[in-house]
Amino acid sequence: MVGKGSHCPPVFLRQQICTIKDSRTEKLKKSFADYQSEGHLWITMSQGEYYPDILPLACELYKPVLVIFEQLLKSAHSSTNLFMDISDIKPLWMRIQLCRVFRKYVSPETPVEMLKKKRDALNICNRFGKNFRHITEVQKKFSSRPMPDETLCAILWEYKDRGKKGYDLTERLFTIIRGSFPDLRITGPERAGKDVLMGEVFKDYPKPDRPVDFVIFENEVPLAVGLARYDSDRGGAQEDDRTGQYRECANEILTYAKKHALNIKVIFLNDGPGLLLGTMWRDYANIEKSWKDRVKVVTLRMISERISIDWLKR
């Protein structure tokens, strides 16, 4: 029995406290590989949209795009002329959608990222114009489709939220870090925005244009840098590219940190059902293993278990 005024907890309470501490310690020791057998319980599923439920909204949103494309198409005397006319359209959102329609009808091999740069319009026509589908053929094909074309509207709708799942992921990451570590500061684009460049974090970084998604600071001292990705689906060459980029990023950052005696950690936040496909989970686990205690791969649900202030500062 504990005497009056004693600050020593009862034996059973001390045992409970020790059990909780042991459990916490064991969780912190778990590697990313240890979660694989129950990986489906640790990923975050982003809400999708059903077909054909999206068609009414898709047609409402993209009918004005198809109407403008039709007007430009009727007055164009060549496919290059059509593209030059599209490049003069404002606002930017409309021009991008018109470029996507142009790509489908006229030049499927030309990336939209290339087409939507207005300043490059003339160069694109000079370099790739000879492979554009002839304007009369485009006019014939376009007029054969209904207005609005449900199929094309559904295709354009797929672009509408591209990147949104990744933006949602980083926004939730920032919320979790700020709530869990109020004395730390996390910087980077919470949704859309410019990546953090390593040259902005370390003035003498050998590859200053190396982009990262977030940096965690204590006061003005960087503790961790990281990348965040949501994988709805991934496999094959895309899978190899992703893990290869991660391995290169970790090696580069941690080699620099070792050379300058810096206590830097690397965090790879990955989430989504794509993690369960192919060898993705195992490949991430191998990256983490190659830099033991310096790299951690986590999903959103793992952050509270695997990222601690002790690890960040160790």
Domain residue limits, the chain: 55-160, 163-313
Q: Higher pLDDT residue, 275 or 35?
A: 35
Q: Tokens 């003035």, residue?
A: 203
Q: For the chain, how many helices (H) and strands (E)? A: 14, 7
d(CA 283, CA 279): 6
Tokens found for residue 297:
């791969």
pTM of the predicted protein model? 0.72
**Total Cβ atoms within 10 A of residue 309:** 13
DSSP string, 114-151: HHT-GGGHHHHHHHHGGGSPPHHHHHHHHHTS-SS-HH
pLDDT given for residue 161 in this prediction: 73
Per-residue model confidence (pLDDT) at position 21: 46
Report how far apart, in Å, the C-alpha atoms of 251 and of each of 127, 245, 248 are: 39, 10, 5
pLDDT at 166: 80
pLDDT digits (tens, 9 = 90+) for 205-249: 999 999 999 999 999 999 999 999 888 776 555 566 778 889 999
Of the listed ranges 1-5, 104-108, 123-127, 152-156, the one predicted with least confidence: 1-5
CA distances 245 to 235, 239, 251, 257, Å, are 15, 10, 10, 18
pLDDT digits over 50-101, tens only?
899 999 999 999 999 999 999 999 999 999 999 999 988 988 899 999 999 9
- Condensed to tens digits (0 to 9), the pLDDT of residues 282-298 reads 999 999 999 989 999 99
Q: Which fold has domain 163-313?
A: Trna Endonuclease; Chain: A, domain 1 (3.40.1350)
Please give the single-letter amino acid code of residue 255: T
In whole angstroms, what is the distance from residue 64 CA to residue 21 CA?
61
Average pLDDT value for the chain: 87
Q: Is the pLDDT of residue 23 over 80?
A: no
In the prediction, which pLDDT does 20 show? 44
Say what percent of the chain tops pLDDT 70. Answer: 87
Please state, as a whole number, how many other Cβ atoms lie within 10 Å of the Cβ of residue 308: 16
Q: What's the pLDDT at 2?
A: 45
